[in-house]
Amino acid sequence: MSPSPKAISPDGDKKPNIKFKRILLKLSGEVLMGDKTGGALDDETLEAIASQVVEIADLGVEVGIVIGGGNIFRGLQAAAGGMDRVSADYMGMLATVINSLALQEYLEKRGKYTRVMSAIEMAEIAEAFIRRRALRHLEKGRIVIFAGGTGNPYFTTDTAASLRASEINAEIILKGTKVDGIYDSDPVTNNAAVKYEKVTYLDVLNKGLKVMDATAISLCMDNKIPILVFNLYDKGNLKRIILGDKIGTLVS
């Protein structure tokens, strides 16, 4: 029997089997800083992240991305300092647009077609988020970066990631962090911290595990979208996950 056409690339090479066809990658703004401080974006880190994303896109994975803005501005912290919460949250949403445009630049330098779609309209630099248009971009192999959070105050970019993953029918949310999974306490300050290989949504909520906020976890639970927390800084981890390797901690 001849192999399936889908298993062979145009040049005749067999492509590896992929576990996920469409994913939502969630990145914090702090991840883009690397070792830098003060909110500065790190060129090497952006290059490395773009390289990993391109690597899985070349395998045929449809990629949506949500990036936080905490490296530039945190609405909650500003509100705690006395700023109006609504204004502070909108400022945080604008910070996500800056990070999204930065990653877009590095992806396009590597020859990938991308779209930044913003929940807050700003036609000169990003498309307005329209679900059907986002799905079409993904089907055409474009990497779609969802900026501007949900477009509403009082919601985090974790919730935005859960919302967008639900809207685009993503098979999984991959949360790229600086640690290799979920622990029962902070592994940076506690050498005895125990890593979980797998936890349930209710475990995260009941134990107060710092994965995503409660609204985001509840939305994933309602829509049966698993979340995989992994170390994005380990080169090749994104591809390994797509190929089915057991990496990080799975919330399901």
Rounded Cα distance, 157 and 159, in Å: 5
Looking at the chain, the whole-number percentage of residues with pLDDT higher than 70 is 94
pLDDT at 96 > cutoff 80: yes
Q: How many residues does the chain have?
A: 252
List the single range of 9-18, 71-80, 103-112 with lowest mean pLDDT.
9-18
If pLDDT is split at 50, 70 and 90, which confidence band does 191 have? Answer: confident
pLDDT at 9 > cutoff 50: no
State residue 14's pLDDT score. Answer: 67
pLDDT at 128 > cutoff 50: yes
Q: Which domains does the chain have, with CATH numbers?
A: 14-180+191-251 (3.40.1160.10)
State residue 13's pLDDT score. Answer: 59
- The arithmetic mean of pLDDT across residues 224-249, rounded, is 96
User: Cβ(238)–Cβ(49) under 8 Å?
Assistant: no
State residue 173's pLDDT score. Answer: 98
Written as six digits, the tokens of 252 are 């399901």
pLDDT at 41 > cutoff 50: yes
- At 136-180, the pLDDT tens digits run 999 999 999 999 999 999 999 999 999 999 999 999 999 999 889
If pLDDT is split at 50, 70 and 90, which confidence band does 2 have? Answer: very low
State residue 100's pLDDT score. Answer: 97
List the single range of 17-31, 73-87, 168-182 with lowest mean pLDDT.
73-87
Rounded Cα distance, 195 and 180, in Å: 9
Rounded Cα distance, 83 and 89, in Å: 10
pLDDT at 126 > cutoff 70: yes
State residue 73's pLDDT score. Answer: 83
Looking at the chain, the whole-number percentage of residues with pLDDT higher than 90 is 75
pLDDT at 6 > cutoff 50: no
State residue 90's pLDDT score. Answer: 94
Which of 177, 172, 180 is CA-nearest to residue 68? 177
- Which residues lie across from 27 on neighbouring strands? 67, 176
- 170 torsion bin: left (phi>0), alpha (psi -120 to 50), beta (else): beta
